[in-house]
Structure 1
Amino acid sequence: MASESVDGAPRIDERVKAVVGAYDVRGVVGDDLTEEVVEALAAAFVDEVGAAGTAVVVGHDMRDSSPVFAAAFARGATARGADVLSIGLCSTDESYFASGRLGLPAAMFTASHNPATYNGIKFSRAGAEAISRATGLASISERASRFLADGIRAVETTGSVEERDVLADYAAYLRSLVPLDAVRPLTIVVDAGNGMGGLTVPAVLETAAGLPSLPLTIIPLYFELDGTFPNHEANPLEPKNLVDLQKAVVEHGADLGLAFDGDADRCFVIDERGDAVTPSAVAAIVAVREIARARRESTDEQIHVIHNLITSRIVPETIEAAGAIPVRTKVGHSLIKDEMRRTGAVFGGEHSAHYYFRDFWSADNGMLAAMHVLAEFGMQDEPLSAFAAEYSPYAASGEINSTVADVPTAFARVVEAFSGRADFDELDGLTVSGNASMDDDFWWFSVRPSNTEPLLRLNVEAATRSRMQSIRDEVLALIRS
């Protein structure tokens, strides 16, 4: 029910509470996420963003439930007076493009890299502006709870539904931002993971959207749109999901490989040897290009670039060396979008392969990041392994999760063990840096509690692999003891 609780706070319907998170809506189809809940969320979204009398963009991925939920959303949205501009099958960054280019709020139906049993909604205000719990999702939850309790009252002038295909415009816009006509011929294996990259890659990097051909030979892997993910999970952050791509790159003698997640807003890069290029290295490569572009456009501009606190040290070093100002942030999708807008940053990069662009309404776009890598790499003759090595000089552990029954106590053990020999920073969890952090033997690690599970997440980086391993093992023993 949506009535007020004893203390006066609004009571959130349990069905809404089950699916609305910190940054988006996500849940198991049929159990948590139903058409009734989606209709209520749609009506709430329209009221929250003031879309009655205007329009909202609605797009969806290839999951079996996505078209059904998009139709349910249209019913709830039009009942509250908003027209629905349906862009149909699309990637998440394509929905951001529509929101930004048209100046309309948007709802994207996807569960990103989650298994086939899940679905969800990513909301944006007009101009692809992110909505988090702190900036609208809490209010949407309250409104949706009232609609579930009392029914959705249709306004006098209800909305209509119009279909529009924006894929060709999206592809043309990305090519205008990163021209690839002059790169050397490249052979690229692309693993779409049966996700939306199977639609966007042929449009952007090939000729499916009617654009001229590029000096790129694309070898497709799992381009068939299939929300059951029959080949592997569409989550390139998990190394097991990169194995097929790594083998294919080597077998075909390709110059590189690209792997997209389910909704194609994240992209991972594989070199010619089948080794992963870290997202931090990608962020550094793209940062150099975006700083240079901003410098060409305005010599007086003070240029900012965002990086979250667990990207490699090479990222802020590269930003500073290019004459820009690195801005260190907490981890978090909507938070970084907000920080991009606040600082006017030209670019932002995360360890999780989310990349944000001022020229893309400060939203994230994995395809655009991949194009920057192709543009920079394709203008020189070295293999990708050698080219990327410049941006990967340090040893990193990757993120290691530990299930911990008593997180505060484990946290306290880490603080006690490193007191006196390290510096501490509590921006997001705890970052611990060796006192001699500017020496050649530097090290640092981050320990962050999960917001939803009894987990501690550890990331370690050091100047050498042996130092990284020793710090990693010491901290893991403290966390897990």
Structure 2
Amino acid sequence: MTTINIQQMMADSGVAFGTSGARGLVSQMSGEVCAAYTLAFLQGLGSACSGQRIALGIDLRPSSPAIARACAAAIREAGCVVDYCGVLPTPALALHSLALGIPAIMVTGSHIPFDRNGIKFYTAQGEISKADEAAIAGATVEVGELAGDLPAVNPVALDQFRLRYTELFSADLLKGWRVGVYEHSSAARDVLKQILSDLGAEVLGLERTDTFVPIDTEAVGEEDRQRGRTWAAQHKLDAIISTDGDGDRPLIGDETGDWLRGDVVGLLCSHFLGADTVVTPVSCNTAIEASGWFKQVIRTRIGSPYVIAGMEQASGGVAGFEANGGFLAGNNLVVNGHPLAALPTRDSILPALALLAMARQQGCKMSELLNGLPQRFTASDRLQNFAVADSRALLERLQASEDAYRSLWGDALGAVVKRDTTDGLRLTFANGEIAHLRPSGNAPELRCYAEADSVERAQVLVNETLAKIAQG
């Protein structure tokens, strides 16, 4: 047995909690580190955990099976039973956990680069909170021999996830539509294709690969933008659907192959589901308030734990979503007159189906769903390999001096009329444009969000801001 203090292990290994789970370089995520995190999580569940089933799932990263084996060994060491669900989307594992009232562990790095991975934890009530993360970080555990392999896959979780949506929507919802699925290395690729096919679509699989592709739905690269346009024209598609690596963030393309922004997807999905209250991070489009569709809009820090905390305080029909498009279904939402069971964790399938259903019901093209929305447009991107310490130093300089603002943006945007430090630094300028900078919580990256009256202008503002920062 080896005694491990989690706080010290985090400092030594570099594997620490970010905006969503514990993450780090694969080279740092040893079996001992992964087992220690698992034991600390189970220890926090108390004596009731002993003998209980613990659901365990993975994404398609090549490092995920080895990490899962270490987690499984720790589950058995804690006197629990491994309910191994194999490769599946994170929301499918979360739904399985909630349905059975059992804890769950998902091995995934989501969208972060290939050389990294992570572990995400769920209690029987849903995603762990920031307080739960603090308790794990403060634990001390005993790690023994990490023996044994993964058990056979239990298919129930994936089957239940598929039925959640095929039973909500009519079997002919997408009859006559050609829908492309950008498969890449998404853990959701097979179940997504099956759901769309079950709902009547002609489904075309696109760009399936066994090599992991780190799709970031908040920062879609030019290569993927061009891919979407080429596929739409070549195959005469009505829509293109994809997700990030673990299937909890959607990437939705219209009939021209243009990818829709995640916050606009969330806005439309919330309206489709009849939400009264929307909970969303400060980085999302102000069209949410300007639409007038919701009785209340609650703004939070970036990260699903903060959105979930806001949802728990809300009433009526409650929806949550992030700028990456991940949608969290709260209480009292409805699809076609049928109640939708709450799933307060990021999901990519629901928003995709909601937008497809809206277009079919309105008899319009996917691109036309945006008609009538307030003319506010967002863009985002990031500087990779930008140390978190450098990001924080930059934000401190920008907050300390007006001259620092001018050195980055000049006088073209006018004076700063509002400063929001809810998460990073979000500045509203006199000309109505918004620039928002924050360190990523998952990787050494500096993220930039911008909002303007046209998508082109928002993208220019992002590009110019990041270019100036990169130049020093």
TM-score, scaled relative to structure 1 = 0.80
- Alpha-carbon distance, 1:100 to partner: 1.2
Please give the alpha-carbon distance, in whole angstroms, between the structure 2 residues aligned to 1:455 and 1:64. 23
> For residues 165 and 16 of structure 1, do their structure 2 counterparts lie closer, same or farther at Cα, with a shift above 3 Å needed?
farther
Q: What is the correspondence of 1:229-308 to structure 2 with a 5 Å cutoff?
A: 229=212, 232-236=213-217, 237-239=219-221, 240-291=223-274, 303-308=276-281
- Structure 1 stretch displaced more, 179-188 or 257-266: 179-188
Contact 2:380 2:459 (8 Å CA) reproduced: no
- Alpha-carbon distance, 1:37 to partner: 2.2
Please give the alpha-carbon distance, in whole angstroms, between the structure 2 residues aligned to 1:221 and 1:142. 45
- Alpha-carbon distance, 1:17 to partner: 4.5
Contact 1:180 1:374 (8 Å CA) reproduced: no
- Alpha-carbon distance, 1:75 to partner: 1.6
> For residues 396 and 91 of structure 1, do their structure 2 counterparts lie closer, same or farther at Cα, with a shift above 3 Å needed?
closer
Please give the alpha-carbon distance, in whole angstroms, between the structure 2 residues aligned to 1:396 and 1:65. 34
**Number of the residue aligned with 1:113:** 111
5+ residue gaps, structure 2, are: 331-340
Q: What is the correspondence of 1:312-391 to structure 2 with a 5 Å cutoff?
A: 312-318=285-291, 321-344=292-315, 346-358=318-330, 359-391=341-373
- Alpha-carbon distance, 1:179 to partner: 4.3
Q: What is the correspondence of 1:23-422 to structure 2 with a 5 Å cutoff?
A: 23-29=20-26, 31-50=27-46, 51-127=49-125, 129-132=126-129, 134-143=130-139, 146-148=141-143, 151=144, 163-166=153-156, 167-179=158-170, 181-183=172-174, 185-206=176-197, 213-223=198-208, 226=210, 228-229=211-212, 232-236=213-217, 237-239=219-221, 240-291=223-274, 303-318=276-291, 321-344=292-315, 346-358=318-330, 359-391=341-373, 393-399=375-381, 401=383, 406-407=393-394, 408-413=396-401, 422=417
Matched to 2:397, the amino acid is T
- Alpha-carbon distance, 1:352 to partner: 1.5
Please give the alpha-carbon distance, in whole angstroms, between the structure 2 residues aligned to 1:466 and 1:43. 49
- Alpha-carbon distance, 1:451 to partner: 5.3
- Alpha-carbon distance, 1:124 to partner: 0.8
User: Would you say how many aligned residue pairs link Structure 1 and Structure 2?
Assistant: 438
Instruction: Tell me the secondary structure at the aligned position of residue 27 of structure 1.
Output: strand
- Alpha-carbon distance, 1:102 to partner: 1.0
Deviation track 1:10-52 (CA, whole Å, cap 9, x = no partner) reads 85125774212233122333x2112222222222222112321
Deviation track 1:260-289 (CA, whole Å, cap 9, x = no partner) reads 111111111111122221112211210111
> For residues 394 and 89 of structure 1, do their structure 2 counterparts lie closer, same or farther at Cα, with a shift above 3 Å needed?
same
- Alpha-carbon distance, 1:462 to partner: 2.4
Please give the alpha-carbon distance, in whole angstroms, between the structure 2 residues aligned to 1:379 and 1:354. 23
Q: Rg: which structure is higher? A: 1
> For residues 470 and 366 of structure 1, do their structure 2 counterparts lie closer, same or farther at Cα, with a shift above 3 Å needed?
closer
Contact 1:394 1:463 (8 Å CA) reproduced: yes
> For residues 14 and 306 of structure 1, do their structure 2 counterparts lie closer, same or farther at Cα, with a shift above 3 Å needed?
closer
- Structure 1 stretch displaced more, 236-245 or 350-359: 236-245
State the identity %.
24
Instruction: Tell me the secondary structure at the aligned position of residue 247 of structure 1.
Output: helix
Deviation track 1:420-452 (CA, whole Å, cap 9, x = no partner) reads 6513333223333345xxxxx633332334557
Please give the alpha-carbon distance, in whole angstroms, between the structure 2 residues aligned to 1:3 and 1:36. 9
TM-score, scaled relative to structure 2 = 0.81
Deviation track 1:106-141 (CA, whole Å, cap 9, x = no partner) reads 0011122234433321111113x2225x32233324
Please give the alpha-carbon distance, in whole angstroms, between the structure 2 residues aligned to 1:95 and 1:395. 33
Please give the alpha-carbon distance, in whole angstroms, between the structure 1 residues aligned to 2:257 and 2:449. 23
Contact 2:320 2:329 (8 Å CA) reproduced: yes
Please give the alpha-carbon distance, in whole angstroms, between the structure 2 residues aligned to 1:454 and 1:74. 29
> For residues 105 and 453 of structure 1, do their structure 2 counterparts lie closer, same or farther at Cα, with a shift above 3 Å needed?
closer
Please give the alpha-carbon distance, in whole angstroms, between the structure 2 residues aligned to 1:452 and 1:165. 30
> For residues 140 and 372 of structure 1, do their structure 2 counterparts lie closer, same or farther at Cα, with a shift above 3 Å needed?
same
Instruction: Tell me the secondary structure at the aligned position of residue 382 of structure 1.
Output: coil
5+ residue gaps, structure 1, are: 5-9, 155-159, 207-212, 295-302, 436-440
Deviation track 1:183-229 (CA, whole Å, cap 9, x = no partner) reads 552111111212212222133222xxxxxx322111101345x2x33
Contact 2:92 2:161 (8 Å CA) reproduced: yes
Please give the alpha-carbon distance, in whole angstroms, between the structure 1 residues aligned to 2:189 and 2:459. 38
Please give the alpha-carbon distance, in whole angstroms, between the structure 2 residues aligned to 1:363 and 1:473. 31
Contact 2:73 2:146 (8 Å CA) reproduced: no
Instruction: Tell me the secondary structure at the aligned position of residue 398 of structure 1.
Output: strand
**Number of the residue aligned with 2:436:** 446
**Number of the residue aligned with 2:337:** none
Contact 1:195 1:262 (8 Å CA) reproduced: yes
Matched to 1:238, the amino acid is V
Please give the alpha-carbon distance, in whole angstroms, between the structure 2 residues aligned to 1:11 and 1:197. 33
Instruction: Tell me the secondary structure at the aligned position of residue 184 of structure 2.
Output: coil
> For residues 472 and 153 of structure 1, do their structure 2 counterparts lie closer, same or farther at Cα, with a shift above 3 Å needed?
closer
Instruction: Tell me the secondary structure at the aligned position of residue 343 of structure 1.
Output: coil
